[in-house]
Amino acid sequence: MPLQRRARYSRRRFLKDAALLAAVLPLGPRCASAFLNNAPDRNEEIVCQKFQLAADPSLQGKTVGDVMAAIGLSFIGTPYVAQTLEVPGPEHLVVNLQGLDCTTFVENTLALSRCVKLNEPTFEAYTKQLQLIRYRSGVIQGYPSRLHYFTDWIGDNELKEIVRDITRDLGGVPLVKAIDFMSTHRKSYRQLSEKSVVDAISAAELRLSSAVHSYVPKGDVAGMQDKLRSGDIIAITTSIPGLDVSHTGLVVEQEGMPYYLHAPLSGGAVQLSKATLASYLAGAGKQTGIIVARPVEPGGH
């Protein structure tokens, strides 16, 4: 059943909200978050708009990666808002397309694109895909069931045949690192005040620390970036102790070269890199390389 069209977003309302947002964004993500928290809930309307975009005849028959690139590009300008999933109350599926961080940008783009490829353009199908992607085995069982570390996110979504880790195929080398950032920074996470939650997170960290992961060092990216495709998910590894990945985004090919589409704190909104992925990485101090996950065609198409 197709998603019912909701009331159109008027030009006057758009200009008013855009003017307010333009004033808020320079003050930083917290101010942007405060504005968006008081804004009308437009999530169903935005989902409908994305599905309408994906109905363009030029996208018919394209890969899920191409659809991801098109939908991802349509998010350019969407405000960056930190900690979008850290909301009061018990763990539940948070839907927020009005403000994105780097992970929720990737998750939402992937969920919407899978719905398009499965020919299920409904809000209910979108939320089902989002939960499947965001939680271990797609099941919400408290805070620890959310895939907090991105290497865990990739591994679990590979098991669900949603993505495939192609890092080794691209010349990746072993990533050996102890993962314990959350358990060693408990005060930064409201939910880690409970011992049972800390124990569950620590168990996940121990498993990730002993697992075999690969990454392409950033100095080697220029030599392999021609093998990347639109829609490839790029997780950027970091030298920050205890942390596997510090940033995520998508590849968008332009004139045969990969550019980085992401939601960075700097700039305050979803944006496309001005230079190629390799050039973008070269200027980043604590970024050490990349992990690449390629989206799998839903339904085996």
Query: At a CB cut-off of 8 Å and minimum separation 6, what does 285 contact?
Result: none
In a domain? residue 185: yes
* Number of other residues whose CB lies within 10 A of the CB of residue 69: 26
Which range marks the domain in which residue 85 is found?
11-300
The answer to the question of residue 183 being in a domain is: yes
Specify the pLDDT at position 265.
86
> What residue spans of 118-194 are helical by DSSP H?
123-134, 150-159
Q: What is the mean pLDDT of residues 95-107?
A: 97
Instruction: State residue 24's pLDDT score.
Output: 35
pLDDT at 13: 42
Residue 25 lies in a domain: yes
Kindly report the pTM of this predicted structure. Answer: 0.86
Number of domains present in the structure of the chain: 1
Q: Within a domain: residue 107? A: yes
CATH number of the domain where residue 235 is located? 1.10.3670.10
Q: Which of 29, 16, 1 has its CA nearest to residue 115? A: 1
**Residue 42 within a domain:** yes
Q: In this predicted model, what pLDDT tens digit does every residue of 243-279 receive, in sequence order?
A: 999 999 999 999 999 999 999 987 799 999 999 999 9
